[in-house]
Every structure is written in C-alpha cells, then in structure tokens.
Amino acid sequence: MPYSFKNHYLMFAHYNRWVNAKLYAAVEDLSPEQQHRDCGTYFKSIIRMINHLYVGDVLWLDRICGSKPSSYALDDVLYPNAAECIQARTALDLRLLEYIQSLEDCAFTQDIQYIRRDQVYCEPLTEILAHVFNHQSHHRGQLHGMIYQLTGISLELDLIFFQRAHADLYRIDHL
C-alpha cells in the first residue's frame, strides 16, 4: 500500500473522534463533583483538562486554517459543564476530520505560518498535525488516569484496537 500523508492523518482524525467518544462517555458518567475534583495533575480536574484539550485544538485549527486566532489561554475554562464541553469537542473533532479530508496530499508538506506570543513561526503542516495528535494522546492518557483514579475503570483506548476495527475509514486500499 503506498504511503499517503492524507490517509495517515485521516487515520489519526478518525481515531481522535473514536477515542474521544469513548473517553468522554466515561467523563459523562462521573458526578459533577468528580468532574471538578482536584486529581493532582497539572490541570488539576477533569473539567480543566477537557477544556485545555479543546482550547489547544481550537488554537491550532485557527492557525492551520488561517483564521483569526482565538484569544484563549491554554488554561481557560470555556465550559464548566462537562456536557457542553463534550458537545463542543465532538463538533471540533468533526471539524478537524473535515479539514483533513479537504486537503490534497501535497498540502501536508506545505509550510504554515502563524504568530504566537508576538513571534512568527513557519512549520510544515505535517509537523503541526503530528503535534496536535500527540498533544491529544498525551493529555488523554492523563485524563484516562484521572478517570481510573476516580472509578477504578480502565478503558481500551489503544490505537491498534481502532486500527483493527476501522481500517476501512482511512486505508488507501479501502477507499
């Protein structure tokens, strides 16, 4: 099967939606007190963590889409209610997937220029998307740990489980 940046990142975008749906369903099962409890992590609570994940992705999507950058700080809590944050997250995951679907393979190697804290950066889209999906995985791991700490329940979130069940969504030989 020939390698394609588009299919590589489609896999991650589909995985992102799948794993977020599983993880956020577990968040919804928690009480509001559990969602807001300080679990001893950098962002402290589940609510703060899911808001950070949302804000981070909004900022990156604004940059890569050439939109006027949002003025959010990475620790802003836009949604103190989990259900509202999850609804926004679901829409954002779809927006990211649709963005990747809209690209031709050659677009992934193009440079994206953006400004952060008054400094201009220019990086290939492939590297930015790698960061976005890695950032999600990093904090989802923390979020999963927080859920386990509160409930004793561990979820199967590994990429390989998604790949085995959903290859038809992103593999060249299936499209």
**Residues in the annotated binding site for a divalent metal cation:** 52, 135, 139
Which H, E and C letters describe the chain, residue by residue? Answer: CCCCHHHHHHHHHHHHHHHHHHHHHHHHCCCHHHHHCCCCECCECHHHHHHHHHHHHHHHHHHHHCCCCCCCCCCCCCCCCHHHHHHHHHHHHHHHHHHHHHCCHHHHHCEEEEEECCEEEEEEHHHHHHHHHHHHHHHHHHHHHHHHHHHCCCCCCCHHHHHHHHHHHCCHHHC
Q: Which residues are annotated as a binding site?
A: 52, 135, 139
Please report, for residues 34, 55, 82, 137, 146, the alpha-carbon distance to residue 42 in angstroms, rounded to integers and kept in the order given. 16, 16, 19, 15, 11
